[in-house]
Chains A and B, each alone.
Chain A
Amino acid sequence: MSLENFLLLSVVLFSIGLYGALTRRNVVVVLMSIELMFNAVNVAAVAVSRYVTPAALRADTTSIADAVVQRVLTGQVFALFVIVVAAAEVALGLAIVIAVYRSRGTVDLTQVNLMKR
């Protein structure tokens, strides 16, 4: 498996998520699509972290062993953060959805056009 494969997977996931976020009328499905885009980012971050040597370490070829490089986990940590933020975002988003539903009686996004005014 090479980096390209993971990045292609990430692109496909992101595109599907974007398409869903822009086209679906149901707010819940839109939130799910956004989740998909988060995860596409996570895949890319982890894959890059796994395959690419940080520039600072790349110059120094003597002292640091290849094994150490394998353990630089920046991308993975980022992914964890993103998951946390995504969870919070979903909680907030669903709360908004409920609020919208209470005031308008629908979760159809085409009916929510307050920004026009």
Chain B
Amino acid sequence: MISELGAWAIFLLPLASFALIALVIRPFLGSRSRVSGYVTVLAIGLAFLLSAYALRSTLGHEQAIGWPSHRWLAISGLDIRIGILMDPLTAIMLVVVTGVSLLVQVYSLGYMKDDEGYARYFAYMSLFTASMVGVVMARSIIQLYVFWELVGLCSYLLIGFWHQRPAAAAAAKKAFLVTRIGDVGFLLAILYLFLQRDTAAFAGRNPFEIPDILAAAGMMTTFAATWTALGVFAGAAGKSGQFPLHTWLPDAMEGPTPVSSLIHAATMVAAGVFLTARFFPLFEHSAAAMTTVALVGGFTAVFAATMGLVMYDIKRVLAYSTISQLGYMMLAIGVGAPAVAIFHLFTHAFFKCLLFLGAGSVSHAILTFDMRFMGGLRKAMPWTYATFLIGALSLAGVFPLAGFWSKDEVLLSAWRGDKGVDSLVFWLAFVAVFLTAFYMFRVIIMTFHGPFRGGVGAEHPQPGPPARGEHDQDHAAGEEAAPSVHLAESPLVMIAPMLVLAVLAIAAGYVANPLGDLAGVPAHWFVEFLEEHAEGFSPGLAAASSAVALGGVGLAALVYGRRSPSPEAVGRAFGPIRTLLLNRYYMDALYEGVIVRSLFYQGIARGLNWFDREVIDRFVDFLGWLSRNGGRTVAPLQNGQTQAYGVVISLGVLAIIGVYLVFGR
């Protein structure tokens, strides 16, 4: 059994690594010190071992392992505590977070080797991991919110890691602001819970303690549960890039590729799904909240997948894919299967991390992310190709890889749902299966098959070092020497984590074990570990979804491999739709052009500007005018004439006597 100290250490190890790098290594050993990378890998590796031990400890327990929380702040009637909640959900998330983070750190040792900000990078990554561990382990909702915001801060720092590039700085700001919109909802939900502290549901309970909230959820009024759940979901939607707060996630590609990998697999976006699953009893108590979650998730799954069809930047395709897959997870929660959502998060973490690391490996060689300048890389980079292919197959949901099992459970949960909305989101998810398979094999074929189209040299044909365009981002800041395309496999330190992830992308599905007892793992182990029942397995549905996925793969092979019909012809046939997709449904234009520029700048900002100038400034000017002119008016009274002073004194005495005579008695 893991002790409380051991549980705290999972959080404190990465935090200590951050402090050590930021306070000692970077100032004294230099900003490119190799030590910082090793410290980070060591700390997160130890945290991973402790997490695995924590998972093992929770296996034997029916209930969450409980340690009493510690008093943090107590002001009359307000008792905020901190502590650790170690239940199966936390334990699984801990393993995912620290495990994926560890592999990404190892990969970063190679990927960030020549970067100026090597130490800073690993300091941020350590803090990022520590924050995410804090979110996952938090026992109090206030504690959770603190780490929640820290995760947001770290993603801001890492997306804007190359802050000298304007695009990266803008993307970081966008990520911070868009997620903040959702966080306001989360904060309101916390405050609303606090207002509920005197209701019957919270009698004898602390409105900030997560176990208390979950226990009270069933007794709350439907109104209270709905609004609390929707507030929590707003925060989750912001972090997990759900429609309509998804716009920050594709732009977040401006950060280094391992950061994208970490954000998309284990930390930032997983936090939203985790939060929704954590507060599932609240959602369960409100049909309206469940419907909202299911619809938003289902819509996002298809909506994002369509945009993934037309992007040329390999990382952007993966980003839309992540949004789409997060939609799946939300959908699963919305139809009442949070354990399935976490299972999909679990498998998705491995193959999406793998895909990003693969994309990073490709750009390491050819210095671009634009798939129009890739092609034919499978001969030069066999390991990258093999692992990327495994990740793509897993993401597409092809039997028997991990993604197949989890995606199938999501579909099955929606299929078995008894509400009207459940069957609607089932069909949305079903369409998304096809789209996912299609765009992933579009990526595979454009990147690894066909002739090589020149890499960064073709993208920037002028001689000499290429201009720092939109796509050569990962190396623009890192290398002083003129970058050049070198068609070769990445170093072992980058390939090794990808191999580990590839094994997991194949095998992780078997922890769900939907068919029967296997190698000592009982059937439906994962889902039953998290909640009571498991949906079982439906061969018919699995066959249907596999057929659809293979259909997507086949269509992609037809269009991009055989070129009959050619992609250009397909593009022309769907001209207006393609334009719409390439412009991302004009959502960014809507937000930036209409809402920010027209509404905020022209409307609110102009109105506030008028108010500031005409009311506040005028009032301040009036105060100045008053004292200046008032002074001018009374200044002549001080003329140095004793007798004039005497007159004033006498009049004053007379006035006092008069007041006394009138009111004094």
Contact = CB atoms under 8 A, between A and B. Distances in A.
Interface of A: 18, 21-23, 30, 109-110, 112-117
A113 B640 contact: yes
B646 A113 contact: no
A114 B639 CA distance: 9
A3 to B, nearest CB: 19
Given A18-B650, A22-B646, A113-B641, 16 more contacts: A21-B643, A21-B646, A22-B643, A22-B650, A30-B643, A109-B641, A109-B642, A109-B643, A110-B641, A112-B640, A113-B639, A115-B640, A115-B645, A116-B638, A116-B639, A116-B640
Q: Which 10 A-B pairs have the closest CB atoms?
A: A116-B640, A113-B640, A115-B640, A22-B646, A22-B643, A22-B647, A113-B641, A116-B639, A109-B643, A113-B639
Contacts of B639: 113, 116
A92 to B, nearest CB: 16
A115 B642 contact: yes
Nearest to B646: A22
Contacts of B643: 21-23, 30, 109
Overall SS of chain A's interface: helix
Interface in B431-461: none
A116 B635 CA distance: 11
Contacts of B650: 18, 22
26 contacts: A18-B650, A21-B643, A21-B646, A22-B643, A22-B646, A22-B647, A22-B650, A23-B643, A30-B643, A109-B641, A109-B642, A109-B643, A110-B641, A112-B640, A112-B642, A113-B639, A113-B640, A113-B641, A114-B640, A115-B640, A115-B642, A115-B645, A116-B638, A116-B639, A116-B640, A117-B640
Nearest to B653: A18
Contacts of A116: 638-640
A26 to B, nearest CB: 12
Contacts of A30: 643
Interface residues of B, number: 10
Nearest to A117: B640
Contacts of A18: 650
Interface in B550-604: none
B70 to A, nearest CB: 69
Nearest to A24: B643
Contacts of A112: 640, 642
A80 to B, nearest CB: 26
Contacts of B642: 109, 112, 115
Nearest to A115: B640
A110 B639 CA distance: 10
A7 B410 CA distance: 107
Contacts of A115: 640, 642, 645
Contacts of B638: 116
Contacts of A117: 640
Interface of B: 638-643, 645-647, 650
A97 to B, nearest CB: 13
B648 to A, nearest CB: 10
A112 B645 CA distance: 13
A117 B641 CA distance: 11
Contacts of A114: 640
Contacts of B641: 109-110, 113
Contacts of A23: 643
Most interface-central of B639, B640, B650 (chain A CB within 10 A): B640
Contacts of A22: 643, 646-647, 650
Contacts of A21: 643, 646
B497 to A, nearest CB: 85
A112 B640 CA distance: 8
Nearest to A18: B650
Contacts of B645: 115
Contacts of A113: 639-641
Nearest to A114: B640
A112 B643 CA distance: 10
Contacts of A110: 641
A47 to B, nearest CB: 20
B179 to A, nearest CB: 66
B381 to A, nearest CB: 91
A81 B651 CA distance: 28
Contacts of A109: 641-643
A81 B641 CA distance: 30
A116 B642 CA distance: 10
Nearest to A30: B643
Contacts of B646: 21-22
A110 B640 CA distance: 9
B231 to A, nearest CB: 68
Nearest to A19: B650
B654 to A, nearest CB: 10
A23 B646 CA distance: 10
A12 to B, nearest CB: 16
A99 to B, nearest CB: 15
A76 B129 CA distance: 96
A51 B173 CA distance: 91
A113 B646 CA distance: 13
A39 B576 CA distance: 110
A8 B582 CA distance: 103
B655 to A, nearest CB: 15
B533 to A, nearest CB: 95
A40 to B, nearest CB: 14
A50 to B, nearest CB: 25
B468 to A, nearest CB: 70
A35 to B, nearest CB: 16
Nearest to A116: B640
A30 B645 CA distance: 14
A116 B646 CA distance: 14
Nearest to A110: B641
B444 to A, nearest CB: 93
A110 B641 CA distance: 6
Nearest to B649: A22
Nearest to B645: A115
A117 B638 CA distance: 9
A84 B641 CA distance: 28
A110 B643 CA distance: 9
B85 to A, nearest CB: 77
A116 B647 CA distance: 16
A109 B640 CA distance: 10
A83 B621 CA distance: 57
A112 B641 CA distance: 7
A112 B646 CA distance: 14
A107 B301 CA distance: 101
A18 B645 CA distance: 13
Contacts of B640: 112-117
A52 B446 CA distance: 120
A30 B640 CA distance: 17
A68 to B, nearest CB: 33
